[in-house]
């Protein structure tokens, strides 16, 4: 009966206003809405009170990280954003704004430039230096670098390929340096680490001989290969690291309660995605903007992308088990898309090799820094010496006898300038040497015996 009714309404029409337009465009709009809804992915249904909990977030200033920070701050978490630099007025305003909107004053930023291993170490050392150890309930790793097609190879100040350095090496370094902090958290504290991965890891190519993509150029036809490799390596590191934490024996014999999740948020309309599609060019940006309705339909918003991250942070299931779960669309995947996820041996070898590479790099960089420091000190010393010589010359200058009339004139003018009298004698002004000409002064100054003999 309802089908008959709907059929006759659809075919014969009704009194509904704009029925003809609805009939023409309705199916297409419904289809697009359906695609948009489907592409939006699943929603996290779990909630957690984060008051009194402390989380570090990388990449909290944009896209997925910004949205995740916002959601966590709304739940009352204390957030420490790890940022490239804290000397940034924009960052100050951003944090103020977020504090206001979430009604949470406990949002802070610390410098930890992921493009520099030294900066990561400085931050971690500062964190570990606290006594008693600081509370840490989790680390959310959302920072990432994606270099668009056609861009030349980019390296960090450490000389490492940029995507590998920021997406993989820096997070590896940060999380392993934080190990002592993880290990001293009370055993009943539910500590969670979330790292973000991407479907592009399907294109990854890990080469143990060139782990940091130092020898190879960017593959021309496949701009996501290096990025995907960094993401796969990060996921495999998480697996190996989780096992190491699981077997660690604490003094109180309790297990280390840190659970790492490897989360794929899905494709989102974020800054890095925009830059990737527009290939970092103005023309590309214009095309991106023209095609925006398409991106609006097929890509998630950062809020939708954050759902799986929040699921990994809130759902009680993650507090149990061995950790190292792969998460996508608010579900735990049984196995990863790559066979490397099944090989513990491969993961452990990757861990060891990366650790060695970081040690070597840090040593080289420390030597380089020391050399620079010595050179700087030497330059500063030379500059200071030069300054001192000039200063002492200037000091003696006033006591020296002028050799010519011109010199005497110029010194008098200098003195007049110093005391603000100007260079020209005004008619009302008394001369400095009232009844003597400049010549006689020079003469007397250069012939003291003559002066002595003169009767006054
Ligand atoms: N977008 C997607 O479709 C997609 C898909 C799958 C996975 N993911 C992953 O999700 C995560 C977030 O992606 P997104 O698209 O939201 O990224 P995004 O909007 O481009 O933000 C990247 C963040 O990383 C930070 N960052 C970059 N270099 C840094 C450095 N040297 N030191 C400290 N912070 C640095 C940026 O800080 P500044 O604000 O200072 O630049 C920014 O906050 C990434 O790990 C990405 O790989 C994204």
Is the pLDDT assigned to residue 78 strictly greater than 70? yes
Report how far residue 269's alpha carbon sits from residue 63's, in angstroms, rounded to the nearest whole number.
Answer: 8
| Ligand 1: centre distance to CA 177 (Å) | 21
Query: Of 371, 315, 139, 346, which is closest to residue 237 (Cα–Cα)?
Result: 346
Protein residue closest via CA to atom 39 of ligand 1: 61
Q: In Å, what is the CA distance from 177 to each residue of 11, 180, 183?
A: 69, 7, 11
89-102 and 63-74 helices, crossing angle to 10°: 40
Least-confidence region, from 129-143, 349-363, 372-386: 372-386
pLDDT in tens, 57-71: 999 999 999 999 999
142 vs 400 pLDDT, higher one: 142
Three-state SS string across 292-316, please?
HHHHHHHCECHHHHHHHHHHHHHCH
443 vs 224 pLDDT, higher one: 224
Ligand 1 binding pocket includes 230 (Cβ within 6 Å): no
Domains located in the chain, CATH noted: 54-265+300-364 (3.40.50.720), 405-449 (no CATH)
202 vs 413 pLDDT, higher one: 202
Is the pLDDT assigned to residue 25 strictly greater than 50? yes
Concerning whether 231 is annotated as a catalytic residue, the answer is yes
Query: Of 353, 375, 368, which is closest to residue 159 (Cα–Cα)?
Result: 368
Is the pLDDT assigned to residue 446 strictly greater than 90? no
State the alpha helices, DSSP H only, in 331-434: 344-397, 405-418
Dihedral pair phi/psi, residue 54, rounded to 5°: -120, 125
Dihedral sign for Cα atoms in the order 426, 430, 431, 432: negative
pLDDT, the chain, mean: 88
| Ligand 1: centre distance to CA 64 (Å) | 7
Beta bridge partners of 57: 81, 140
Report how far residue 138's alpha carbon sits from residue 192's, in angstroms, rounded to the nearest whole number.
Answer: 5
Q: Given this model, what pLDDT does residue 324 score?
A: 94
Both tokens of 228, joined, read 């995907």
Query: Of 120, 259, 298, 266, which is closest to residue 199 (Cα–Cα)?
Result: 266
Beta bridge partners of 195: 141, 262
Ligand 1 binding pocket includes 272 (Cβ within 6 Å): yes
* Average pLDDT over every residue of 234-245: 97
Report how far residue 149's alpha carbon sits from residue 278's, in angstroms, rounded to the nearest whole number.
Answer: 9
Q: Given this model, what pLDDT does residue 425 score?
A: 57
With beta carbons less than 8 A apart as the criterion, state whether 186 and 258 touch: no
Q: Given this model, what pLDDT does residue 396 score?
A: 59
| Ligand 1: centre distance to CA 143 (Å) | 4
Ligand 1 binding pocket includes 81 (Cβ within 6 Å): no
Least-confidence region, from 237-241, 390-394, 443-447: 443-447
* Average pLDDT over every residue of 278-305: 94
Distance between alpha carbon 15 and the CA centroid of its chain, in Å?
59
Is the pLDDT assigned to residue 205 strictly greater than 70? yes
Tokens 């003696």 correspond to what residue? 396
Q: Given this model, what pLDDT does residue 429 score?
A: 56
**pLDDT band with cut points at 50, 70 and 90 for residue 325:** very high
Q: In Å, what is the CA distance from 211 to each residue of 5, 46, 160, 204, 343?
A: 66, 38, 10, 12, 17
Q: Given this model, what pLDDT does residue 260 score?
A: 97
pLDDT in tens, 14-23: 777 888 888 8
186 vs 424 pLDDT, higher one: 186
Both tokens of 146, joined, read 């994606």
Q: Given this model, what pLDDT does residue 445 score?
A: 46
Q: Given this model, what pLDDT does residue 1 score?
A: 58
Beta bridge partners of 138: 55, 192
H or E segment to which residue 141 belongs: strand 138-141
Tokens 């200098």 correspond to what residue? 414
Is the pLDDT assigned to residue 439 strictly greater than 70? no
With beta carbons less than 8 A apart as the criterion, state whether 195 and 261 touch: yes
Q: Given this model, what pLDDT does residue 216 score?
A: 87
Q: Given this model, what pLDDT does residue 454 score?
A: 42
Q: Given this model, what pLDDT does residue 335 score?
A: 79
pTM of the model: 0.83
């Amino acid at each position: 009966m309802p089908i008959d009714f709907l059929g006759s309404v659809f075919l014969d029409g009704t009194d509904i206003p704009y029925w003809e337009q609805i009939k023409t465009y309705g199916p297409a709009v419904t289809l697009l809405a359906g695609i948009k809804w489907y592409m939006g992915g699943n929603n996290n249904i779990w909630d957690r009170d984060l008051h009194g909990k402390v989380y570090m977030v990388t990449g909290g200033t944009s896209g997925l990280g910004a949205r995740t920070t916002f959601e966590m701050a709304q739940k009352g978490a204390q957030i420490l954003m790890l940022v490239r630099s804290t000397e940034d007025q924009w960052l100050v305003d951003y944090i103020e704004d977020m504090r206001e909107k979430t009604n949470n004053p406990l949002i802070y930023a610390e410098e930890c430039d992921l493009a520099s291993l030294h900066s990561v170490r400085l931050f971690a050392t500062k964190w570990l230096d606290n006594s008693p150890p600081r509370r840490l309930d989790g680390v959310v790793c959302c920072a990432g670098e994606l270099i668009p097609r056609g861009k030349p190879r980019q390296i960090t100040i450490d000389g490492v390929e940029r995507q590998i350095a920021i997406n993989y090496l820096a997070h590896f370094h940060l999380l392993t340096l934080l190990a002592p902090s993880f290990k001293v958290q009370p055993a009943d504290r539910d500590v969670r680490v979330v790292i973000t991965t991407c479907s592009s890891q399907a294109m990854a190519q890990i080469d143990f001989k060139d782990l940091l993509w130092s020898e190879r150029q960017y593959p021309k036809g496949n701009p996501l290969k290096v990025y995907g490799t960094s993401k796969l390596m990060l996921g495999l590191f998480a697996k190996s690291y989780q096992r190491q934490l699981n077997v660690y024996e604490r003094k109180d014999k309790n297990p280390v309660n840190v659970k790492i999740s490897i989360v794929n948020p899905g494709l989102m309309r974020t800054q890095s995605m925009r830059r990737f599609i527009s290939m970092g060019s103005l023309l590309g940006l214009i095309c991106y903007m023209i095609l925006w309705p398409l991106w609006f339909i097929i890509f998630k918003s950062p809020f939708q992308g954050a759902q799986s991250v929040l699921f990994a942070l809130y759902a009680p299931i993650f507090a149990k088990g061995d950790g190292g779960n792969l998460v996508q669309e608010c579900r735990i995947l049984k196995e990863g898309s790559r066979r490397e996820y099944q090989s513990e041996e491969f993961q452990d070898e990757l861990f060891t090799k990366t650790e060695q590479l970081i040690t070597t790099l840090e040593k080289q960089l420390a030597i380089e820094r020391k050399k620079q420091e010595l050179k700087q000190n030497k330059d500063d010393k030379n500059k200071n010496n030069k300054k001192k010589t000039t200063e002492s010359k200037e000091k003696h200058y006033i006591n020296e006898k002028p050799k010519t009339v011109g010199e005497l004139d110029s010194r008098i003018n200098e003195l007049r300038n110093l005391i603000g009298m100007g260079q020209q004698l005004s008619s009302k002004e008394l001369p400095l040497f009232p009844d003597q000409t400049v010549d006689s002064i020079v003469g007397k100054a250069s012939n003291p015996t003559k002066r002595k003999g003169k009767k006054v």
